[in-house]
Each structure stands twice: as C-alpha cells, then as structure tokens.
Chains A and B, each alone.
Chain A
C-alpha cells in the first residue's frame, strides 16, 4: 500500500495564480483532511471530508476550496494565491474517530 500520497511535493506560485493540490489514499478511509503547517504553529485544519461528495470547513478555510469526487481523492484548490498561503500543506485520511495517516506534505511558496 502506498498509504497517503500528495502531488506535487514542491511548488512556487506568483500572487494571483491558481493551483490544485492532489491527495490520494489507498486505505479505503472515509475521512480525509487538509492541513497547513506554519513555523511555530500547530497543524491547522483547512477543510475536511467525511465521505465521497461531502466537504466541510475547518479552522482556516478562507482562500481555499476542496472537492471529494472519489473516495480515494481529496483535492485542495487555491483560486488566487496570496503570500499568506506560503506554507507546508499536509493531507491525512482516517476511519471515523481513528488514527490519521498523513501524506509527505507539499511545500508551497507564493511570491
């Protein structure tokens, strides 16, 4: 099993550009999550999904959109990137109330 994979691993964007981060999991988990991690701060939840076709806002959803068209994939979109969105983005998946398994992260820089 590959577990949780994320693409791309690194990306540099200019302010105003858009992009989509892809998360895939092969563990048949119902729940999937997108977090961002900034220096000196804990992981903060952006959006999450409790099942195919459903999404919900987390702690810091502004500026991001998500979609869960297939159970195994969870996409995070930035419509108009801003320097404040420079961060490391982690995707995770889990069974309900279960341990979260994290992907390797995507390092995004917005200039």
Chain B
C-alpha cells in the first residue's frame, strides 16, 4: 500500500535553533518527492522537489535530503524564524497518472 509517514507529528523549538523533520514512504514506483509549507488558514506552498537521482536540494534556510534506497527524506531548517511556524507536508508522486500521496504533516511551532 502506498503510504507516506511523517515524524514528529508536532515540534516546538526556540527561535534561532535548527530542526529536522522526517518523511518515510512506501510509494512505488517513485516519481518525485516534494516538501510543502502550509501556514495556518492557507493552502500549501511548495518548498522543494526531488527526483530519484537527487539526494539534496536547498531553498534558502530549508534543505531537503532524499535517500531513495531507504525511502526516506528529511527537511532541515536552519536558524529558525518565527515565520517558520507552520505545517510541513511531505508529498510523494507515483510514476503513473496523477497519483499523489500526502503525508499528514508535521506541525512546527517556533517560540521567541
């Protein structure tokens, strides 16, 4: 069964600290993996996309990694800011027509 599991479910850190969010998937055949940021009351916005051959990609203070062998991805946030408070959703695409599996997200709260 195609599944995407994220951990932790929620996380609270102090402003300025780093954190890492995890995503494990059992999707097959794999096409690509995206990380989305969803602010409260808003729709998700894409942060990064990674294909099978890529194992790291950065977008400012966000760095995503992908290990296609172990089917794991992580999203590392450096020097967190209050505006990073949001839900982060891992989304994996199956190599077939329009099949996309969403994780349930990690709720990140940054405290001043």
Chain A bound to chain B: yes
On A, residues with C-beta under 8 Å from B are 4, 31, 40-45, 48, 50, 56, 90, 92, 97, 99-100, 102-105
Distance (whole angstroms) from the CB of A105 to the closest CB of chain B:
6
CB pair A103–B102 under 8 Å, yes or no, is no
In the complex with contacts A45-B100, A48-B98, A97-B43 CB distance below 8 A:
no
**What are the residues of chain B within 8 A of A100 when measuring CB–CB?**
46, 100
**What are the residues of chain B within 8 A of A97 when measuring CB–CB?**
31, 93
CB pair A102–B103 under 8 Å, yes or no, is no
Distance (whole angstroms) from the CB of A77 to the closest CB of chain B:
20
How long is the Cα–Cα vector from A105 to B42 in the complex, in angstroms?
Answer: 7
How long is the Cα–Cα vector from A48 to B100 in the complex, in angstroms?
Answer: 11
CB pair A4–B103 under 8 Å, yes or no, is no
Interface residue? B57 (CB, 8 A): no
On B, residues with C-beta under 8 Å from A are 4, 9, 31, 34, 41-46, 49, 89, 93, 97-98, 100-105
Q: Can you name 25 A-B pairs with beta carbons within 8 Å?
A: A31-B98, A40-B9, A40-B104, A41-B104, A42-B4, A42-B89, A42-B101, A42-B105, A43-B44, A43-B102, A44-B102, A45-B100, A56-B98, A90-B43, A92-B43, A97-B31, A97-B93, A102-B43, A102-B44, A102-B45, A103-B43, A104-B41, A104-B42, A104-B43, A105-B42
**What are the residues of chain B within 8 A of A44 when measuring CB–CB?**
102
Distance (whole angstroms) from the CB of A53 to the closest CB of chain B:
16
How long is the Cα–Cα vector from A92 to B97 in the complex, in angstroms?
Answer: 16
How long is the Cα–Cα vector from A67 to B106 in the complex, in angstroms?
Answer: 33
Q: Output the nearest chain A residue to B43 by Cβ-Cβ distance.
A: A102
